[in-house]
Amino acid sequence: MDKALVVQSEWSELKGGGIFKIIKQDNIETLFNRTSNCFKGSNGTILKSVGSPELHGPDGDNTMYVRGSSKKDDDNIISTTNKDLFNKFLVTIDEYNEAMARHEVKELTQSTKDHITNHSKYLAKRVKGVLDTFAENIDESKNVSDAMNAKVQLMTSLLSCIPMGVETCPFCVINHNDCSVCEYKNKHGNCLNKDSTYQKISDMIGNLRNYISNNYWKGL
């Protein structure tokens, strides 16, 4: 299992204490628990992603603050002399990773499948319409230039049929277009942000469409 939170830990009876050191943390700040900045284990201990790593903050002794920055690791050492608390945090860290792993692959309900399938059928009709129009344009073409212009229209129209919308996105459908609880953004960014995977792909499609329109056929 690829863990969302990797913590190096060590308890020393000789030193009378234990330490935690964050090696990797995928989710940060408000995204830490998909919908909030904390995770509560079954034993009552809490992992919270705000500020720098520490133990015993304003939320009480049962809270461990893990990294709240955008870094993947943190060299700050978290220490405690309470062995029971130390062991409880180990359990909660395992529970957190198990919870995150379960969320990695979400099951699709039949209603979600039906929603996406129905829209896919609509897209199929759009694609068929584009291809039918291309066939008609080719049939009506009087020369190579007409045919090439028809092909430009075909390619740019097909790009418009790429399923980038919310209706075919399982996360959008499952979360009812509520980006604040969307799991996809944890690794790919909020689709509304310009640096997100979605926007980058959308921009590439737009740039390709423009390039085809302006360069694929300029005549002989």
Q: How many helices (H) and strands (E) does the chain have?
A: 6, 7
Nearest to 156 by CA among 103, 101, 215: 215
Query: What DSSP element (H or E) covers 64?
Result: strand 60-66
Nearest-5° angle of CA 126, CA 130, CA 135? 145
Q: Which two tokens stand for residue 82?
A: 């309470």
Q: Which two tokens stand for residue 200?
A: 């980058």
For residues 75 and 190, what is the distance between their CA atoms, to the nearest angstrom?
Answer: 28
pLDDT for 60 equals 56
pLDDT for 33 equals 61
Residue 158: half-sphere exposure toward Cβ, Cα within 13 Å: 13
Contact 115, 61 (CB under 8 A): no
Q: Quickly list DSSP for 26-59.
A: SS-GGGTTSSSSEEE-TTS-EEEESSSSEEEETT
pLDDT for 183 equals 78
Cβ neighbours, 10 Å, residue 173: 20
Handedness of CA 103, 107, 111, 112 (dihedral sign): positive
- Looking up tokens 């220490």 gives 79
pLDDT for 74 equals 60
The torsion defined by the Cα of 74, 69, 49 and 183, in degrees rounded to 10, comes to -110
Contact 75, 16 (CB under 8 A): no
Q: Which residues pair with 120 in a beta bridge?
A: none
- The stretches in the chain having pLDDT less than 70 are 1-2, 28-36, 50-61, 67-75, 102-107
pLDDT for 58 equals 47
